[in-house]
């Protein structure tokens, strides 16, 4: 190889090394920060999804408990002690029920709307919080 050939080879190697230098430190830091930010956003989204799914499951279970209580009211004999003012009714029914592994306290009230027609309200809750309120009519036949 001649001197000009050596210089040409050095020039090609130098040009190659400028293009193949790799990433700078700031580029790596920005990439890591961006990945961390996206990972945090993903974790927060999954956390919110899990919490909402738990609340939804609780509401569905409370709805099932309230519907069962309404059905028991409809099957029981007409409570003649109910007046025009909403108040406790159908006290022979259970006030506590467990759906799956979720316990609920049920409050059953009724109001006389007209002769032989009552508006029955069942509230299902737990830990002192009302979760769902369900109403139905009971007719004395």
Q: How far apart are CA 123 and CA 69, in angstroms?
A: 10
Element (H, E) at 4: helix 3-19
CA angle 88, 61, 93 (to 5 degrees): 30
Distance of CA 38 to the CA centre of its chain: 23
Residues counted in the chain: 141
Q: What is the pLDDT of residue 91?
A: 87
Residue that is written with structure tokens 């099957």 in the block: 75
At residue 13, the pLDDT reads 63
Are 71 and 89 in contact by the 8 Å Cβ rule? The answer is no
Tokens of 91: 């006290």
Measured CA to CA, the distance from residue 55 to residue 19 in angstroms comes to 55
Q: What is the pLDDT along the chain (141 residues), one digit of tens a residue?
A: 555 666 666 666 665 555 566 788 898 999 999 999 999 999 999 998 888 888 889 999 999 999 999 999 999 898 888 888 888 888 888 899 999 899 999 999 999 999 899 999 999 999 889 999 999 999 988
Distance CA 122, CA 111 (A): 12
């Amino acid at each position: 190889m001649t001197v000009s050939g050596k210089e040409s080879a050095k020039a090609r190697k130098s040009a190659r090394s400028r293009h193949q230098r790799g990433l700078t430190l700031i580029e790596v830091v920005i990439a890591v920060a961006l990945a961390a930010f996206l990972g945090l956003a993903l974790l927060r989204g999954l956390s919110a999804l899990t919490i909402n799914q738990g609340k939804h499951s609780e509401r569905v279970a409370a709805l099932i408990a309230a519907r069962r209580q309404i059905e028991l009211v409809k099957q029981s004999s007409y409570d003649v002690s109910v007046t025009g003012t909403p108040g406790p009714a159908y006290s022979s029914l259970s006030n506590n029920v467990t759906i799956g592994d979720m316990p609920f306290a049920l409050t059953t009230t009724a109001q006389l709307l007209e002769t032989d027609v009552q508006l029955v309200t069942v509230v299902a809750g737990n830990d002192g919080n009302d979760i769902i309120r369900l109403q139905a009519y009971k007719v004395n036949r």
